[in-house]
Structure 1
Amino acid sequence: MKRGLFVLILFVVSVTKVFSQIEYNRFSVEGLGGITMAFTDASNNNISYMFGGAFHYNTSPFSFFSLDIQSGQLKGGLEGNKRQFANSYSSYSATYNLGLGDLLNISANTLHRKTNDLYFGAGVTLIKNNVKEVVPFEYSTSDGTFTEGVNFKGTEFVFPLQVGLNVKYRTKTEKTPFAVNLHYQFNLSFSDSLDGYEGSPGNKKNDLYSTIWLGVKYFFGPTSIYYRTPR
């Protein structure tokens, strides 16, 4: 009996030495705000604003699924330019974000935690365009004179690629009630309609845009234990 108890204690001690434990919440919500940058046929002065919110399902302390809603503006062109527009959009995204902490077995000291909480991800976005303030642009070719540029409303899918960093606040008991999130997202469009212009004759480049935001995350809900081999 004593020998069995000794073996059990030895096993528990050895497992404790082999694995460290990180407790984390399964859910988090985020409020966010930042800027947009449009890369379209209407160049110059292409920085505007966005804000929104997100809900996350955390698959580990470092990785998460995200559903977010954004509202903002894409714009380009200057007064007197050949092309000028403003697109008051709203978007709905679903993404998966993989944290480096799930890929790298990095020491959990304070300095290296920042590396653990770097993440990158991809997904799909439904964007609702409301393109207005479009200045008609006239151009001539061998086939005649044409005018492009139209105000319109429409919906399309874009594909976000993103990278970010969660700067987590930890209590003395290693709880993480909230985090500050710095996030960059590059959005691939498969159309040329984000700005209301088709572009120059023979243009085959699609419109693109990116967003940079600062957010605050609040963690809540049931907790899980994440096991990892310490270094």
Structure 2
Amino acid sequence: MIVNLLKATYLTLLFVFIGSFSFAQSSYFNMSYGFGGGINNSYTDVYQGSIGYTTYGVFDFHITPFVTLGLEGQYGLIQGGDIETDPNNRQFVNKYTALSANVKLMLGEVVDYYQSEFLYKIRGLYAGLGIGIINNNITDIVRIKPAWAASNPGYGPFPGENKTLNMMVPLNLGFNYYINDGYGYMRYVINFNAQSTVTLGEGLDGYNDVRTQFKNFSPDIYSSFTLGFRYMLGNIKTYRRTL
């Protein structure tokens, strides 16, 4: 009788352990795609940047629900300067395209978000790093200072190229807000993203200034702030914690 009692106790504990382990896991889709857009601002050799726009499409592979590897394509307009107000009477417009690969790590991967309601709500916060190529297409630029310029009228041409390819390094900070479908899966994502993109070259503004004449020591950068939507799909994977 004691043996039977021990067996029953053992089986009960085993089923409780298995049930608890299964309950502590969830399923998720391992891919997503999406699109979005917003505004950008440039920080280049031109004295002051201006507001432009950025649109994007993205495809991500989810290693876990909170760690992704992805590809992002961008199209937009970057601009800066003003022929009338710029100290050197310069301005440019760049209708660019870009492609990058990136990795993102979300807060939910590194914290126990069930410890508090606040952590659960912000588990979609993330940081990311990437590398890619930007295709610069300068459609409007001042190469020669106007005759009415306050200093050095008619100076030029300013060196640089209208069409260039440069490497770039995008840095991302953002937030994913998850919406479940009717079956309880994380299926839809509303995304807020701030990206600062460092370009390795002098093509973003079309000016490749001689350092003896201009302060040209910093890389050309543009920052974008976007709102997007993503849809999760693909194979269903198991995650170690409840989502």
Is TM-score (shorter-chain normalized) higher than 0.5? Answer: yes
In structure 1, stretches of 5+ residues that fail to align are: none
Task: Point out the more displaced range, 37-46 or 91-100.
Answer: 37-46
Query: Does the CA contact (< 8 Å) of 1:24 and 1:61 recur in 2?
Result: yes
Matched, 1:189 2:192: no
Task: Give the counterpart letter for 1:125 in structure 2.
Answer: G
Query: Does the CA contact (< 8 Å) of 2:46 and 2:80 recur in 1?
Result: yes
Query: Does the CA contact (< 8 Å) of 1:62 and 1:102 recur in 2?
Result: yes
Task: Give the counterpart letter for 1:25 in structure 2.
Answer: F
- Please give the alpha-carbon distance, in whole angstroms, between the structure 2 residues aligned to 1:108 and 1:66: 30
Report the Cα offset of residue 74 of structure 1. 0.7
Query: Does the CA contact (< 8 Å) of 1:192 and 1:205 recur in 2?
Result: no
Choose from 24, 27, 34 the match for 2:28: 24
Bigger Rg over Cα = 2
Aligned residues: 226
Task: Point out the more displaced range, 167-176 or 214-223.
Answer: 167-176
- Please give the alpha-carbon distance, in whole angstroms, between the structure 2 residues aligned to 1:58 and 1:229: 16
Matched, 1:88 2:90: no
Q: CA deviation digits over 1:169-228, x for unaligned, max 9?
A: 124653122010001111112223210123452421221111111110101111111113
In structure 2, stretches of 5+ residues that fail to align are: 146-150
Q: CA deviation digits over 1:70-91, x for unaligned, max 9?
A: 1001100124131100000000
TM-score (norm 1): 0.86
Report the Cα offset of residue 9 of structure 1. 3.8
Following TM superposition, where does structure 1 have runs of at least 4 consecutive aligned residues deviating by more than 6 angstroms? none
Query: Does the CA contact (< 8 Å) of 1:63 and 1:119 recur in 2?
Result: no
Choose from 10, 13, 24 the match for 1:10: 13
Report the Cα offset of residue 51 of structure 1. 0.9
RMSD: 2.6
Query: Does the CA contact (< 8 Å) of 1:192 and 1:198 recur in 2?
Result: yes
Q: How does 1:149-228 map to 2 (within 5 A)?
A: 150=160, 152-171=162-181, 173-199=183-209, 200-228=213-241
Task: Give the counterpart letter for 2:61 in structure 1.
Answer: Y
Task: Point out the more displaced range, 104-113 or 172-181.
Answer: 104-113
Determine the structure 2 residue equivalent to 1:74: 78
TM-score (norm 2): 0.82
